[in-house]
């Protein structure tokens, strides 16, 4: 009987898929508002939006994350599940090179979509009287999502190199 074993690149791709799913529940965008009134009273307001476009404050009516986040992250999750599935059905799978080439291409596309979304995040405008400071931009989920995309591309490209496919006994010695 054939022993089913997952390769290290496939294991890493599976872990990245899980991290991509986890990142969807983290804040992807945040806005911090600080208003200073005439008597030195300060009012602070903070809002975050996760990867599913769920706001921490119910009043936000802008699409912050949307499909340009959902599609790449769910693609990474599907690639991770596929990498694990290669263990369950070894005779029905693509060759290692074919699979890692598909992963690299989809990882590059996912990276491009996320960077486009990141660059087009909603930036609220504040009053012009100078009493309100506004910071709006990416949060932890964005950074983890982009890191996952880059990591899946690097791992799949490294898996395509000839040195990555050698067993330890075949590795060149440092003599």
pLDDT number for residue 1: 41
Query: 57-79, pLDDT tens digit by residue?
Result: 766 777 888 888 999 999 999 99
pLDDT number for residue 90: 64
Query: 87-121, pLDDT tens digit by residue?
Result: 777 666 668 888 999 999 999 999 999 999 999 88
Print the SS3 string covering the chain. Answer: CCCCCCCHHHHHHHHHHHHHHHHCCCEEEEEEEEEECCCCCEEEEEEEEECCCCECCCCCCCCCCCHHHHHHHHHHHHHHHHHHHHHHCHHHCCCHHHHHHHHHHHHHHHHHHHHHHHHCCCCCCCCCCCCEEEEEEECHHHHHHHHHHHHHHHHHHHHHCHHHHCCHHHCCCCC
Mean per-residue pLDDT of the chain: 83
pLDDT number for residue 78: 96
pTM for the predicted model, two decimal places: 0.81
């Amino acid at each position: 009987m054939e022993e089913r074993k997952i390769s290290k690149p496939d294991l890493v791709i599976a872990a990245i898929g899980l991290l991509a799913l986890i990142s969807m529940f983290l804040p992807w965008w945040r806005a911090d508002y600080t208003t200073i009134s005439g008597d030195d009273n300060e009012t602070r307001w903070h809002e975050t939006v996760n990867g599913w476009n769920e706001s921490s404050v119910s009043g936000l009516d802008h699409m912050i994350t949307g499909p340009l986040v959902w599609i790449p992250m769910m693609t990474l999750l599907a690639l991770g599940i596929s990498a694990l599935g290669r263990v369950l059905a070894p005779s029905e799978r693509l060759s290692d090179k074919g699979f890692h080439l598909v992963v690299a291409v989809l990882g590059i596309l996912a990276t491009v979509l996320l960077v486009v979304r990141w660059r087009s995040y909603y930036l609220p405008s504040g009053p012009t009287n100078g009493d309100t400071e506004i910071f709006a931009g990416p949060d932890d989920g964005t950074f983890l999502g982009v890191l996952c995309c880059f990591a899946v591309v690097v791992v799949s490209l490294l898996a395509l190199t000839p040195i990555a496919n050698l067993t330890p006994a075949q590795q060149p010695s440092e003599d």
